Chains A and B, each alone.
Chain A
């Protein structure tokens, strides 16, 4: 059970490094963007990788978070911190309303329903002119998402996510992912397990959207279309389904690559699409498979190297 302690300390160290590392303004922006994308990716990873629910509409929860935070800060002058948290909570509430009827669906059916729901939320935001200013977007959001804020949220939410995975909830979700019937016969009420995963993931996506609003200073319904939802899920699959550290790695790589190709923006999406296909063909299990990154550290081999007198019968096991 030291794994989680290691993960938490790694997060704190990473957070401190990211906050105090001397960077140019442009690089600071990229760090903030990385954190924002990672938060959303973690949420989707819990849902897709750990619970086996495949969603193609999670950008909608980002949109809800972004619009909630934007409207609260701009229109009602609320401080950014409660506004961001409120963004997460609104996303959770809507997710709950949506999840109640739709989580009964499984497999492709839920994915297709989530497309419909995601698009419906986006269309509502687009058509509710008086409240959201419609398709032309919502300008003039304070740039409250500084590097420190983004990294801070990322660290706290990251620790929370890893803690959740290494607790009863993590096992519950994995059980209902691997075999729903068996899970329900192990005493899990699988619909509520799935609901928990959906709500947590909606919270993460809501926070991420709220931070994105403060980062871009401008939001628009079309930023949160099906393309964005696909990207969220694709990043999770790229990192490896059922591997949270893989998700973070995948998200970091995809964000950096996309940033690197910003200048040739028209080729950017082409490269991204090719990448998706190539990864699925060459390594469908993703970067890390369903293992966490520290399981690649050959602890047993290290131990056997440093053990003074290895017993003849205790050969280090081959891993992988």
Chain B
């Protein structure tokens, strides 16, 4: 009896872990994509997710923009589309207004890192001021909420399945974009060497904008699922720290690495919650990060970088 409970917990937590991991993957991939091109940790990545989340929330429930005009509430498809586009545009704007001037000025990525923290603080607090710091639940009926019982007390909610399917869809789309399109090829070339790609006639500044748009878009997909899971609040972007951890575990700058790292992290988090205690989740996450960095700093799929003497 005891064994079967353990067993069903294990299965349940594996399913939950995969679902959470798939959400992390969406966030981590965008973060890793930006890192692969510009080699800096974009801490504003969480901000894009929050922007997307709030746009989605706003469009779903209807916004009254200070009495000037009113946007009626719309369906999930329109809301998601708006959220994806909006967050993508915010990401591109961030790149153009904040990062580009810095990149043109210095080659030190430290400044970009700090600017990205500034952006993340700004985005967080814009929402604190505009909509308040309250937790907001997305309307429950946006996703079909059926529970499927798999036996042994293991259940899968339809939103879990949906998040997995959507994640696979978007990651597959990204893979297609990167491997089959002209811009995808350019992005892969730029990931090897941005400067040389520029010399080969790639429009670098457009390329970086595209990368940021894609990153913002993917973050928002993750963000919508996260806000269904944890509700929506201005500090939700902080959860991307875990996506960073996932990206590092997989190998910074490597997209398959980010996906694998995210799944590992999601599983580790859910198994810890299931078998030890849910308060230890974060501790396990950060310990995994540190251990990984010590054992294999380049991650599972990362490039080893050495400089010429």
Contacts and interface: CB of A to CB of B under 8 A. Distances in A.
A and B touch in the complex (CB under 8 A): yes
B246 to A, nearest CB: 12
Contacts of B118: 234, 272-277, 280
B113 interface: yes
Nearest to A181: B309
A112 B98 contact: no
Given A123-B282, A284-B106, A276 B290 contact: no
B293 A277 contact: no
Interface residues of A, number: 40
B124 A115 contact: no
B125 A112 contact: no
Contacts of A272: 118, 121
Contacts of A305: none
A281 interface: yes
A105 B295 CA distance: 11
Interface string A104-115: 110111011101
Interface in A217-236: 226-227, 230, 233-234
A256 B133 CA distance: 25
A270 B122 contact: yes
Nearest to B294: A101
Interface in A115-153: 115-117, 119-120, 123-124, 127
A113 B283 contact: no
A102 B287 contact: no
A169 interface: no
Contact of A120 (B124, B125, B286): B286
B117 A276 contact: yes
A54 B129 contact: no
The A contact surface, by secondary structure, is helix
B168 interface: no
Interface string B79-112: 0000000000000000000100110011011111
A233 B114 contact: yes
A277 B294 contact: no
A226 B241 contact: yes
B241 to A, nearest CB: 7
B114 A276 contact: yes
Contact of B290 (A117, A124, A281, A284): A117
B128 interface: yes
The B contact surface, by secondary structure, is helix
Contacts of A102: 290, 293-294
A234 B121 CA distance: 12
B126 A270 contact: yes
Contact of A280 (B102, B126, B245, B280): B102
A104 B102 CA distance: 28
B162 to A, nearest CB: 30
B51 to A, nearest CB: 14
Contacts of B307: 181
Interface string B38-79: 011100000000000000000000000000000000000000
Given A116-B290, A123-B286, A280 B98 contact: yes
B241 A237 contact: no
B294 A124 contact: no
A127 B284 CA distance: 13
Contacts of B245: 112, 116
Contacts of A181: 307, 309
Given A230-B117, A269-B125, A273-B125, A284 B41 contact: no
B34 to A, nearest CB: 12
12 contacts: A54-B110, A102-B293, A102-B294, A109-B252, A112-B245, A112-B289, A115-B289, A123-B283, A233-B114, A270-B125, A273-B124, A275-B118
Interface of B: 39-41, 98, 101-102, 105-106, 108-115, 117-122, 124-126, 128-129, 238, 241, 244-245, 248, 252, 279-280, 282-283, 286-287, 289-290, 293-294, 297, 307, 309
Interface of A: 54, 101-102, 104-105, 107-109, 111-113, 115-117, 119-120, 123-124, 127, 181, 226-227, 230, 233-234, 237, 241, 266-267, 269-270, 272-277, 280-281, 284
Closest 10 CB pairs of A and B: A276-B118, A273-B121, A273-B122, A277-B118, A280-B115, A116-B289, A116-B286, A270-B125, A284-B111, A120-B286
